[in-house]
Amino acid sequence: MRTSFFAPLALVAAVGFAGATQAATYTTLDPEASSLAFGYSQMNVKMDGSFGELQAPELQFDPAAPESAKVRIEVALASIDAGYPDANAELKKDEWLAMNQHPVATFTSSAVKSIGDGRYEVTGELSVKGNSRPVTVPFSFKEEAGKGVFEGSFPLQRADFGIGEGQWKDFSIVANEIEVSFKFVATP
């Protein structure tokens, strides 16, 4: 009943990395150092979850030219941890993530822009469960020990992606809004 799988979206959106002042071009996501999480409300109780498997088959970020950045993030939905085994099993069902038909959520960037003070926005298409929507995700970028660190968060509406169908469309049980947060670490 964790419909916060949009976190993959967040993760995907966040990786649209933009802007810093280093000469390095970041091309490789470090999945072990990166994280994609989500938070939501179930019966007015705050819940948290995360995804354990993500990759970036396409990643190109030059801090000197953030507008030319490109990223494609893929999140293995089966790697979801919604807090307990029963919830993880429920999320595999067609009403929720339909993981048999749609095992991967993706984010593909179309534009990145600086909004000042080390902050950026990446715009692109988030696809979950066969449903695609344009999203714009704010994030920050900094360099630490030769690595690029991208962090951000954004809200998603689970209904926009068909997550939680049938009886689960009732937002009084599981809230419509999912807050996705990410920390992506990349190397040149």
Burial of 103 (0-12, 13-18, 19+ CB in 10 A): middle
Give the total number of structural domains in the chain.
1
Q: What is the pLDDT of residues 8-52, one digit of tens each?
A: 444 344 444 333 344 589 999 999 999 999 999 999 999 999 999
Instruction: Using pLDDT thresholds of 50, 70 and 90, give the confidence band for residue 64.
Output: confident
C-alpha span between 152 and 139 (Å, rounded): 4
Task: Supply the CATH number for residue 131's domain.
Answer: 2.40.128.110
Q: What is the pLDDT of residues 90-127, one digit of tens each?
A: 999 999 999 999 999 999 999 999 998 889 999 999 99
106 falls within a domain: yes
Sign of the torsion formed by the C-alpha atoms of 114, 117, 118 and 121:
negative
Residue 11: give the domain boundaries.
Answer: 7-187
